[in-house]
Structure 1
Amino acid sequence: MFQDIRTFPMGSGPVIARMFDELGWGPIIHQRVAPGPYKLPVWLRVKALLINIGTDRTALYRVEEFYAKRDVEVLLGEGVSASDLNDDALARALDSLYEAGLEELYTTIAMHTLRKLRVINPDELFAIHADTTSLSLTGEYPDQSEFRIDRGFSKDNRPDLKQIVFGLCTVRGIGVCANVNPGNLDDHTWNHETIQKMLTQLDPQMRETGVYVADAAMVTKENLQLLADENVHFISRLPGTYKLSEQLKHAAWQRENKWQEVGCLAEARDGVTYKIQSFRRELYGRTYRFVVVRSSSLDARKEHKLDSVLEQEQKELQKAAKLLGKNVYSCEQDAQMAADAFVHEHRGTLHRLQTSVHSEQVQEKRARRGRPRKDDPAPPVRTQYRVDVQILPPEEEQVQAWRERESTFVLITDIRDDQRVPDEQILRLYKEQHEVEARFRYLKAPYHVGPVFLHKPTRVKAFGFVMLMSLLLYSALEYVIRERMKSEQEPLLLPGKRRSFRPTGLSILEMLDEMATVQVKMGGVWHRTPVRPHDPQIERVLKLLGMDLSIYAEVQKIA
């Protein structure tokens, strides 16, 4: 006989819990992290944090409140309650992670995940995309003897706040190595340190087929030396501060008929198109392949730069024209030569220049001082010449040419075999850099990590690694769905009636938000059952993940 009923919002929690289990993360953490004096082992407390972050994205100090509203045993196992997940138990779990060695633990989990999902084909070239981002923090951290939270270059545009720096390397969107660094670490140094660490983490076969892809901050004499010494392939962007960059662009523009059409790299019909040319040049005593890339698009930053360039250029031209106008020439030919020289000197400007020479009559000064006599003749009149400069707005053709030059960039790579790796593939590998940049949006979403109220810097660092592990789990879920969708005939219908064969992990998590578990009390015994979703796409998503609705009602025993 029916006696009572309770409903628990579960969202994506059971899916995240099952992914954690199926990927085998628990035994790895348990083996490497010393157990504490708490009821739950460290790996289970870490699992609780990952479920919380991926499902509710609530700050750390509200985790116990999160679990008080859910069926905890379905998520974490038999006998676990919300009170087991108090602030002290979770904070001590962070201490244990820190003491175990955060980077080594992350790399072990990440490499295990890559192998489990068979992300890398050892016989094919694959890109390791590397980048950093900063996360601003508030609060005081008096004891920074082990880990420093400092001010540095803020990618959040908050130079007034202290920060930490996340570093991440991904393969097909899945992390392979990551770190949490002091806020004042620059990208040049981060790349040098990360390359060295990565070399100890990749097996010989992966080192042979992996290509380190990073932005222009990687290109320094020291980093190029390290990559050459270790025989690591790389692709990067040659900084515009190098004279060689402008030389290569100029060489490419001089060979207008040599551009190779690449077309659009994205699926969008109105996407950016590219043209490329390649060169061999020497840098720091080594010969590299340089691919000059000409894009059809100019981003908003460069358009803003155009306005500034035109404004500054006009000011400088007006100043130079004013100085020229003060000069006096004795003959029209000299004045015309000065006008021509002025135009030639400023031939690289966007504004158009029109010059003209005008004459003026000037009476000579008297040879003697003092008051002239009545019979003294008037001083002779001479003709002198000046140059007038008119500054006109640039023609659209000139502006468009500027846009094309600004949207041209140079890639550098040590891969000189263009038969094995054509120029177009070099460009494609580099443009996939957006995959690691997209991952940072997950880390930096304020809803996820806004208030980090952790008073010990070491706990801030450990929580940063928990966020990186959450991102790794999220990326694995997205990867599995997209791989399975390759064999599907119909796209997934996502929230907002969007159709996609390549859904984002976030859209999948949003689909699962409505999921709930019901407990029904009959004959004095509680029975669990999942609430059948209104959206049939949810069961399809679970099937793609190798799961079904039973994960919302099953209680597993803790090993």
Structure 2
Amino acid sequence: MEATTVPKNYESEVLDHLGLVAGMYDEFQIGDRIDGHIAQDFEEREVSVGQAVKAMVINGLGFVQQALYLTPQFFKARPTERLVGEGIRPEHLNDDTLGRALDSLYDYGVTELFRDLAAHGAAQVGLAPRFAHLDATSFLAHGEYDSEREGGDGVIQVRKGYSRDRRPDLNQVVLNLMVEHTAGLPMLMEPLSGNASDQSSFPELIDRHIDQLQNAYGFDYVVADSSLYSASHVEDLDNSGVKFITRVPLTISEAEEVVQETDPAALEPLTEGYEAREYISEYGGVEQRWLVVHSEAAEARAKESAANRRDREHKEEKREFRELLAREFSCREDAKKALSAFEEDLTASTLAESRVLRAICFTMDEERAPVETGEESYLLQGKLVPSEARWAELVKRKSFFILATNELDEERLSGRDLLKGTRDKARWSGASGL
């Protein structure tokens, strides 16, 4: 007698790219490390914090812009046990479970946790970064917020602040981000209120995490923009043993003087499109190397913008000159003094020609004939032209930039490597202008 074959019931579930996401999550041991950091009773839980985070990561990459409470709906048509963990069903991933997991992450410290996960991930793929690049970005927020109310400790505020997206009318939040230079892997992230300042938040971030980051990653230098560079910050970084690379603001008088006194003919080739010379500075009481760099690309961009700025300044000076020409002076000396004072204040213009004219005053007699009154006044006459020297000054200022480092050993950090580390930062942050 032949055995009867019982038909099997088959179900189809959607995997798509989410298998790769879950696989990489497990490969980097993210869930295991989260569960290792956050205390929890695994016998009383159906879903661990690490598994809840994994579900939210998968959800975020497959169910974009949907509310958290819809997560079970997302997993109904997907192999939940295979993606998240054995015994996990879609209904387990409700908003209570995920919300409590988020509370646990907040209590532990998301910045500290991410720092550990990123360091472990970098080690897994064999990254040994030499430079750590620090920058900030912002995320716009539409809608109404009670931005004036003060939040508690650790609570960020959605507020107006410096807008990198050129939307100062909108509220925002800020994210400080540190990445390694080889692959741009994020090493450290810290969310901040929308009105947070780079000048204050960068040094605080470095001060709190630099020891752990140096030990975990083994990088040599922190690379940041000019927001990190001030007399007090430079001294604090050097005292804490941090080797920095940063751009020097040309608003610092010493930096402006160095650029103005630099002779382009005395520069040495650094790399294609760049020439430079080194200068030792003790700004902020810290001995450091300044690399004064001339960029051919920056000079090409600067020529048009410098001409536009010079022309705007010249237009304003021409308006003031017309007002001066309309004035009457009682004597020739007063007219000369006024002209001399005006010429000394010129920035974008040159006085091409000038002279003092004597004007005789007349009145009308009874027969309406002109009669000299015996009084006289003096008028100025002249012509202003745009200043070529001002244009050259603006081009030079925009063609040069200064990089500073407290690494005094040129064998450990050459001028070429100093520039390379900064250009890598511009690559990962999307900045330009070098």
What's the TM-score once normalised by structure 1's chain length? 0.64
**SS of the residue 1:415 aligns to:** coil
The 1:95/1:337 distance shift into structure 2, 3 A limit, reads closer
Equivalent positions of 1:169-180 (< 5 A) are: 169-172=178-181, 173-180=184-191
What is residue 130 of structure 1 aligned with on the other side?
Answer: 134
State the distance in 1 between where 2:51 and 2:372 align: 107
1:189 equivalent among 184, 192, 200: 200
The 1:354/1:407 distance shift into structure 2, 3 A limit, reads same
What displacement does 1:178 show?
2.2
What is the root-mean-square deviation of aligned Cα atoms in Å? Answer: 3.7
State the distance in 2 between where 1:182 and 1:361 align: 66
State the distance in 1 between where 2:57 and 2:415 align: 41
The 1:154/1:46 distance shift into structure 2, 3 A limit, reads same
1:6 equivalent among 12, 21, 28: 12
1:244 equivalent among 254, 261, 269: 254
Answer yes or no: is the 8 Å Cα contact 1:356–1:387 preserved in 2.
yes
State the distance in 2 between where 1:131 and 1:82 align: 39
What is residue 155 of structure 1 aligned with on the other side?
Answer: 164
What displacement does 1:420 show?
3.1
State the distance in 1 between where 2:38 and 2:135 align: 28
State the distance in 2 between where 1:357 and 1:97 align: 78
State the distance in 1 between where 2:303 and 2:95 align: 47
What is residue 443 of structure 1 aligned with on the other side?
Answer: none
The 1:302/1:139 distance shift into structure 2, 3 A limit, reads farther
Letter in 1 for 2:198: D
Answer yes or no: is the 8 Å Cα contact 2:22–2:84 preserved in 1.
yes
User: Relative contact order: is structure 1 or structure 2 higher (C-alpha 8 Å, sep ≥ 6)?
Assistant: 1
Is 1:45 the equivalent of 2:52? yes
The 1:161/1:87 distance shift into structure 2, 3 A limit, reads farther
Question: Which runs of 5 or more structure 2 residues have no equivalent in the other structure?
Answer: 1-6
Percent of pairs with identical residues? 25
What displacement does 1:328 show?
4.0
Q: Matched residue pairs, number?
A: 410
State the distance in 2 between where 1:140 and 1:218 align: 30
What displacement does 1:107 show?
1.7
Is 1:88 the equivalent of 2:81? no
What is residue 467 of structure 1 aligned with on the other side?
Answer: none
What is residue 316 of structure 2 aligned with on the other side?
Answer: 315
**SS of the residue 1:145 aligns to:** coil
What displacement does 1:97 show?
0.9
What is residue 280 of structure 1 aligned with on the other side?
Answer: 280
Is 1:165 the equivalent of 2:174? yes
State the distance in 2 between where 1:343 and 1:230 align: 51
Is 1:21 the equivalent of 2:26? yes
Equivalent positions of 1:17-416 (< 5 A) are: 17-35=22-40, 38-61=45-68, 62-120=70-128, 126-137=130-141, 138=143, 140=145, 144-146=151-153, 147-151=155-159, 152-172=161-181, 173-203=184-214, 210-252=220-262, 255-264=263-272, 273-298=273-298, 307=308, 310-323=311-324, 326=327, 328=329, 342-343=342-343, 345-346=345-346, 348-349=347-348, 351-357=349-355, 359-363=357-361, 386-392=379-385, 399=391, 402-416=394-408
State the distance in 1 between where 2:251 and 2:104 align: 45
Equivalent positions of 1:393-542 (< 5 A) are: 399=391, 402-438=394-430
Answer yes or no: is the 8 Å Cα contact 1:131–1:215 preserved in 2.
yes
What displacement does 1:106 show?
1.5
State the distance in 1 between where 2:186 and 2:140 align: 22
Letter in 2 for 1:164: V
The 1:389/1:431 distance shift into structure 2, 3 A limit, reads farther
What displacement does 1:391 show?
3.5
**SS of the residue 2:128 aligns to:** coil
What is residue 501 of structure 1 aligned with on the other side?
Answer: none
State the distance in 1 between where 2:276 and 2:405 align: 14
**SS of the residue 1:6 aligns to:** coil
State the distance in 1 between where 2:157 and 2:303 align: 33
Answer yes or no: is the 8 Å Cα contact 2:269–2:275 preserved in 1.
yes
What displacement does 1:335 show?
6.8
What's the TM-score once normalised by structure 2's chain length? 0.80
**SS of the residue 1:433 aligns to:** helix
Answer yes or no: is the 8 Å Cα contact 1:45–1:85 preserved in 2.
yes
**SS of the residue 2:354 aligns to:** strand
